[in-house]
Amino acid sequence: GSNMTILVTGGAGYTGSHVCIELLNQGYEVAVVDNFLTSSSDTLRNIREQTGKDVKLYAMDLGHKELVERIFTENEIAGVIHFAGIKSTGVYKRNPIEYYYTNLASTLMLCKVMAEHNVKKMVFSSSEGFYGDNGADTTTYGSAKLMIERILKEVYLADPSWSIRVMRYLQEED
């Protein structure tokens, strides 16, 4: 459509899907990228039922440049809300290499493609880890989140034309 499209990474997750509903209700077009590792397609049906609108779905990982690129060439992306990131449950609890690689590489790839397409608005949200027993208490989870925040901060410092917001949910204030 001619409307601005917001890309929601991890948009099939619990929080991501609620954000999609809110965006659709506000008149935005929404593109969702999700690999469904820790989410389900039920949430997408839920989005449609609640809004009567569809999101454009890219079922894939953010680690592949040519795939991420396609999202930006096929849509007029105005900004990105970044929820993507696996929770440190199951296999990842015992495999920090996979865990960090997946979370950090996907964020770096996303930023790289965003920069190339001059889309420099991002909201980074790490709320997914705070629902239920998703390993919010594990150091790997917290460390990965802080690393991503650090990366985004340096992206902004190197190029202040970026607009980056970091959102944290349900956390004690320092």
- Could you tell me if 60 and 10 are in contact, meaning their C-beta atoms sit under 8 angstroms apart? no
Distance between CA 76 and CA 19 in Å, rounded?
19
The DSSP code sequence of 32-63 is EEE--SS--THHHHHHHHHHS-PPEEEES-TT
Q: How far is CA 80 from CA 55, 65, 95, in A?
A: 14, 16, 28
Residue 10 has pLDDT above 80, yes or no: yes
Q: Which of 10-14, 27-31, 95-99 has the highest mean pLDDT?
A: 27-31
Alpha helices in the chain (DSSP H): 14-25, 42-51, 65-74, 96-116, 139-158
Give the model's pLDDT for residue 99.
84
Residue 69 has pLDDT above 80, yes or no: yes
- Angle made by CA atoms 84, 174, 22, in degrees to the nearest 5: 35
Residue 159's Cβ-count burial label (10 Å; 0-12, 13-18, 19+) is exposed
Give me the active site residues, please: 141
- Could you tell me if 80 and 122 are in contact, meaning their C-beta atoms sit under 8 angstroms apart? yes
Which DSSP state fits 162? Answer: -
Give the model's pLDDT for residue 19.
94
pLDDT tens column, 71-114: 999 999 999 999 867 665 666 667 888 888 888 999 999 999 99
Residue 32 has pLDDT above 90, yes or no: yes
Nearest by Cα to 56 from 35, 74, 38: 74
Model pTM?
0.86
Distance between CA 5 and CA 8 in Å, rounded?
10
Residue 2 has pLDDT above 60, yes or no: no
Residue 2's Cβ-count burial label (10 Å; 0-12, 13-18, 19+) is exposed
Mean pLDDT of the chain: 85
pLDDT band for position 5 (cuts 50, 70, 90) = very high
Give the model's pLDDT for residue 13.
86
pLDDT tens column, 118-163: 999 999 987 544 444 444 556 777 788 889 999 999 999 999 999 9
- Could you tell me if 152 and 166 are in contact, meaning their C-beta atoms sit under 8 angstroms apart? yes
pLDDT band for position 172 (cuts 50, 70, 90) = very low
Residue 51 has pLDDT above 80, yes or no: yes
Distance between CA 61 and CA 68 in Å, rounded?
8
